Amino acid sequence: MVVESRVDHVGSLLRPRALLEARARREAGVLGPAEFKRIEDDAVRGVVKLQEECGCVVVTDGELRRDSFQSEITAACDGFENVTMDAWLWGDWHSDVVGDRSTERPPGLAVADRLRKRRNLVAEEFTFLRSITDRIAKVTLPSPSLLGNLWDPERSRAAYPTLDDFVADVTSIFVEEVQELQRLGCTYVQLDAPHYPLLVDPVWQAFYESRGWPLQQWLARGIEFDNAIIDAAPDVTFGFHLCRGNQGSRWLVSGSYEPIARPIFQGVRAHRLLLEYDDERSGDFEPLEHVRDDQIVVLGLVTTKTPRVETVDWLSQRIRDAARIVPLERLALGTQCGFSTSVVGNAISEDDERRKLTTIAETAARMWGSGAASSGLPDEEAF
């Protein structure tokens, strides 16, 4: 079965206030693990109910148990040094709405020893989510080469002489994880890969190349590792998310997908591409010409960065525009990124979040009919 829902969102949702307060109390040492887990579980139940009420057939746990969408590797494995929240927030972030913000990369941030896994990364998220919903339960993981930013040319060499060595080890951990998810009955896993669009920016390209791979190797070798994860769980539908940074309603880079579209769209063996298309920073739909005929494109037209009100009419027209390049039957609708990439959520309200998810479902019903949010079709009919 291939997940074919026309309604999707990238994954993270705004952390409820009660959960944020509980996290602060836990970090202060005044809230024990059992009580914190009860509050955390209640928060997940709340966001699942929200998604169901909005008409979402694909639901997530909102990534509420994580510091950041990419943080579970460091939470579940020993071997890293100086990993604080700043590890997920650094960079030159931009916004015309909330203002720019620049944060230096934390000093000493690195993988400094061989990775030792202490627990599964996301199996808990899936098993709890599966127990409280009959919708398609999606789990997100970062693309393994995204974690290459944790490999330091000086501090990491004793443990991992090359970047390849480190990313290969991360990949093996993720392969085990998706195989366990498949065993548990998970049918939809999304790999988040914002580092690929960052490569179109000269500053970020220089940073990533300083890790040890030239540009073309970041694309070719990185996709090879992505495909190793996808191939490891053949019964799972894989999504692949590409954006240009999303943190506190800010973004990192601008630019069309065109420079990276052919190698990524044609190279990665994901079934669904979740692409950022909420404003002019993302360029036009022309790069979609490179999408393979066996992929669904989830158009990220609904912004999570601002309370902008998207209408069914406007979204429908944008979908029709994209359908000039990719047939309507291979399109779906979603958000450009998550609502809360880390515990630092975007500058919108929970009412905005609810309205946007509802609008996605309503638009899908108009464009693809009442069965737009189907759970899946046999492989030979899926596309």
Pick from 350, 346, 326: nearest CA to 43: 350
Q: Provide the pLDDT for residue 378.
A: 31
Beta bridge partners of 237: 188
Name the amino acid, one letter, at 377. Answer: L
Domains of the chain by range and CATH?
17-381 (3.20.20.210)
Whether the Cβ atoms of residue 149 and residue 122 lie closer than 8 Å to each other: no
Q: Where are the beta strands (DSSP E) in 284-368?
A: 296-302, 331-335
CB neighbours of 256 closer than 8 A, spacing ≥ 6?
200, 282, 283, 284, 286, 287
At 187, list the tokens: 């049918």
Cβ burial of 62 (10 Å; 0-12, 13-18, 19+) is buried
Residue 377 confidence (pLDDT): 34
Report the candidate in 166, 146, 144, 145 with the shortest Cα–Cα distance to residue 155: 166
DSSP string for residues in 259-306: HHHHHHHHH---SEEEEE-SSGGG--SGGGGGS-TT-EEEEEEE-SSS
Give the integer Cα–Cα distance in Å for 214 and 212: 7
* pTM, full prediction: 0.95
pLDDT in tens, 130-186: 999 999 999 999 999 999 999 999 999 999 999 999 999 999 999 999 999 999 999
Return contacts of 160-168, CB within 8 angstroms, 24+ apart: 160/111, 160/114, 162/212, 163/211, 163/212, 163/213, 164/212, 164/221, 166/111, 167/221, 167/222, 167/225, 168/225
Q: Which residues of the chain fall short of a pLDDT of 70?
A: 1, 370-383
pLDDT score recorded for residue 383: 25
| H or E stretch at 139 | strand 136-142
Place of tokens 């996709």: 223
d(CA 133, CA 360): 20
Other beta carbons less than 10 A from residue 346's beta carbon: 26
- Amino acid in position 357: L
Q: Specify the pLDDT at position 373.
A: 55
Quick check: 297 and 326 in contact, CB under 8 A? yes
Nearest CA to 90 out of 82, 107, 102 is that of: 102
Determine the Cα–Cα distance for residues 241 and 298; give it in Å rounded to an integer. 9
**How far is the C-alpha of 383 from the C-alpha of 372, rounded, in Å?**
13
